Structure 1
Amino acid sequence: MAAVVGLLVGPCVSTDSSADELTNPAAPRAPERIELPAEKPQVEQTNYWRNARPLKAAESPAAQASDLRPVPPDPAPLSLPSWLLPESESLQQLEPPEPPGQAVMIDDHEPEVSADEVIELAMAKVQLAPSRSAALLVVARELAVDAKNVGDFGDVIDQCHRALDAGPERTTADSLAKLGAWAYNRRGELLVEKGDEHSAFEDFQEAIQLDPNNWAALHNRGVTLARYNKRADALSDFNRVVDLAPSFAIARYNRGELLSQMGRWREAVQDYTVAMQTMPDEASLYTARGVVLNELGERSEAATDFNRAIRLDPNSAQAYVGRGNVFAAERMYEQAVGDFQRALVLDPSSATAYRSTAWILATCPIEQFRDGQKALAAADRLAQLRGHDDPMVLDILAAAHAAGGDFTRAITFEQQAIVLEDDANLKQQYLHRLGLYRSGQAFRTE
């Protein structure tokens, strides 16, 4: 089974990288073997897809329409997301690549047989094979037909390595390499499903070692690298996948997400747009592009994308958050608050919805839309979901405390945000707000 995850839009970074035509973004070619960090970030900023579209979030029980902040359930555990959708028909029917030549002819047989029985069936054909390696390839192919679990794919891999160690001729060697790479990648996908990302990552790397043009393994490795914030290496893998499989829209989506994380907004827009040509009814794509367009200041176009996403998926909390942010930027505060409220009804564990809700309730320039108590409640919930080591979370906590008149706590949180923030522009904004809090003034957006 191939693994999938849902969509969470990335953070705001004020960087623009424009391009007039679609090209692969420049990135150093990743080495064949890459070291994966022992731990990935506690909370991922973006979720990446593997080989299928993400699950739709189930609609939460309706909250009272008059309550701006619905009471959420206990915080969702910050562990691996639940995997997987059933594979598409095309993936279910996927078979190992068939190398040319008589030695790899395969007869259909009953699927529920043991590895020993498969080998016994294959041995009847071995007499036709021109070499020991070709004979072992026959066995590997027979095993591959019925491979379903981690152990099955391990058997295929073992046979391929035995055959390669026997010194096959070039045609047989190429076939063995492709079959072995296929098996490593499929086993890696199953290991991802089981939550063993590091072992899966090593399998993806082994697949690439055997077949550097195995775009499925490159894509899976790129997804894992992106999830562990190895952005340059992930971008290199995604670039390679786009070159090898230009019609694989999910790679375009993932590269767009990564470029968005890197602040390369214009290039991200291009990737989302190309992905839409293959998946025109995927609401998440319009939401993702809308977020980036809003960062570029193209609010009308962003609102159009969010509206399209909501029409395609009325239960998309992220689309409502995105449209609410556009409304807020246009000073349409009543509409913004309404969209944030709807997002929280749909997904009471949405960190982005709590972030936007807390911010507008704490900093809105129009008094009727400010509510320090609710702002602090939303900010506290955000901190539960995202942790207290994120400077953005600390900045929002500071603004919420200041809105409620607690400037001592506001100063403490803002100072912590300044220490943790690496971006010079954001650090300057935090320093400005710290000065306001020290003088007993709350921050207001303009």
Structure 2
Amino acid sequence: MTATPFRLPVSRSRVLAASLLLAAATALSACQTSPTSNLGSIDAAQGSTQNIASLSSVISRNPQDPEAYNVRGSAYGRGGRYREALKDFDQAISLKPDYYQAYSNRALIYRFTNDQQNALADYNKAIQINPNYDAAYIGRGNLYRQAGRTQEAFNDFQKAIQLDTTDARAYHNRGLLYQRQGQHALALEDFSTAISLSPDAPEPYNGRGLSYLATNDEDNAFTDFNMAIKLNDKLAESWANQALIYERRGDKARAAKSYARAVQLDPNYGPAKEGLSRTRGV
């Protein structure tokens, strides 16, 4: 797939004009600023106590095995035990200084602990060791995107895709950038590819639904938002997006119900609070 060069700047106001579509723009903006599949680039080890105990037994038998520390660090990361995760990744790198996967995993933990400088340094190191490591480009791209360094983020997602990544996040995140610039045809293509690579992830359905909505394809947007809820009914964004369709259709009762569910899940989610205020007339 040949990607159109990323263009800066493009005004979002030319994409969504009507009042309800402005509400969609608010939801779209909120979607773009939240990380997606944050732990997706950490190894698949689960953070259960039982699993960590098993991994610790492996380490006790093989204390010089860097891979064992990397896997346990991943499990700690899954379980939110970031301090222990960092210690294990440190040990893995100490035992194997060219362990680019451990650098990339440690970078993600640094992101979660708001140490963006060390996160960037670790992603850079991973890429320096292995310039073909797609996960590091995706992780660094997310770091750039959240810092507002849009062009650098796009370049990293593009690089991962050029490396034939099978990681859905590269396409999803590039789709978010296309979407933000009003390039919805390209965004739809990227979100669809992300869905094909990770059909159980709700985020690409929300992203694609918003681009469908921006192009006035309300039926497909509604289908995607409903699928996002089916896959994970704990995401405020999905309920707020569904509510927006109900609101556009004039069904304020259902809209208010869905907005209320979104607020219940995330009381600080702006699009849901604003939508609930509109549909309840508060």
Q: TM-score, normalised by structure 2?
A: 0.72
Q: 1:12 to 1:339 in 2, by over 3 A?
A: closer
Equivalent position SS for 1:370: coil
Tell me the equivalent position of 1:46. 39
Residue 176 of structure 2 corresponds to residue 325 of structure 1: yes
1:223 touches 1:234 (CA, 8 Å); kept in 2? yes
Asked if 1:384 corresponds to 2:226, the answer is no
- The reply on whether 1:356 has 2:207 as its aligned counterpart is yes
For 1:364-403, what aligned pairs fall within 5 Å after superposition? Answer: 364=214, 369-385=215-231, 387-403=232-248
What residue identity is the alignment partner of 2:216? R
Partner of 1:331, secondary structure, is coil
Number of the residue aligned with 1:435? 277
Higher share in helix: 2
Partner of 1:272: 123
Indicate how the Cα distance of structure 1 residues 227 and 347 shifts in structure 2: closer, same or farther if over 3 A, else same: closer
The aligned runs of 1:170-189 (5 Å cut-off) are none
Any idea what SS the aligned residue of 1:46 has? coil
1:407 CA displacement: 2.9
1:293 pairs with 140, 144, 149, which one? 144
Query: Secondary structure, in 3 states, of the residue corresponding to 2:131?
Result: coil
| Alignment partners' CA distance in 2, 1:349 and 1:258 | 24
Structure 1 pair 389/344, CA: closer, same or farther in 2 (3 Å)? closer
How has the CA–CA distance of structure 1 residues 372 and 265 changed in structure 2, closer, same or farther, with 3 Å as cutoff? farther
Paired-residue identity, %: 23
* Residues 209/282 of structure 1: CA separation in 2 closer, same or farther (3 Å cut): closer
Q: Secondary structure at the match of 2:239?
A: helix
Specify the alignment match of 1:258 in structure 2: 109
1:39-93 CA-to-partner distances (Å, cap 9, x unmatched) read: xxxxx7523545xxxxxxxxxxxxxxxxxxxxxxxxxxxxxx7xxxxxxxxxxxx
The SS at the match of 1:411 is helix
AA matched with 1:297:
G
Partner of 1:416: 261
Q: Determine if contact 2:47/2:77 at 8 Å carries over to the other structure.
A: no
| Change beyond 3 A, Cα 1:419–1:213 | farther
Aligned-partner SS, 1:246: coil
- Return the offset for 1:378: 0.7
Contact 1:235 1:255 in 2 (8 A): yes
Structure 2: stretches of 5+ with no match in the other structure: 1-30
Aligned length: 251
Counterpart of 2:6 in structure 1 is none
Q: Once superposed, what is the RMSD of the aligned Cα atoms?
A: 3.4
Partner Cα distance (1:314, 1:295) in 2: 21
Whether contact under 8 Å (2:240, 2:271) holds in the other structure is: no
Instruction: Give yes or no for the alignment of 1:233 onto 2:78.
Output: no
Match of 2:160 in 1: 309
Q: Distance in 1 between matches of 2:159 and 2:42?
A: 21
Tell me, yes or no, if the aligned pair for 1:215 and 1:244 is still in contact at 8 Å. Answer: yes
Amino acid at match of 2:253: T
TM-score (norm 1): 0.48
Structure 1 unaligned regions, length at least 5: 1-10, 16-43, 51-80, 82-191, 441-446
Distance 1:216 1:281, change over 3 A: closer
Task: Mark the structure with the bigger radius of gyration.
Answer: 1
Deviation of residue 314 (structure 1)? 6.6
* Aligned ranges 1:83-162 → 2 under 5 Å: none
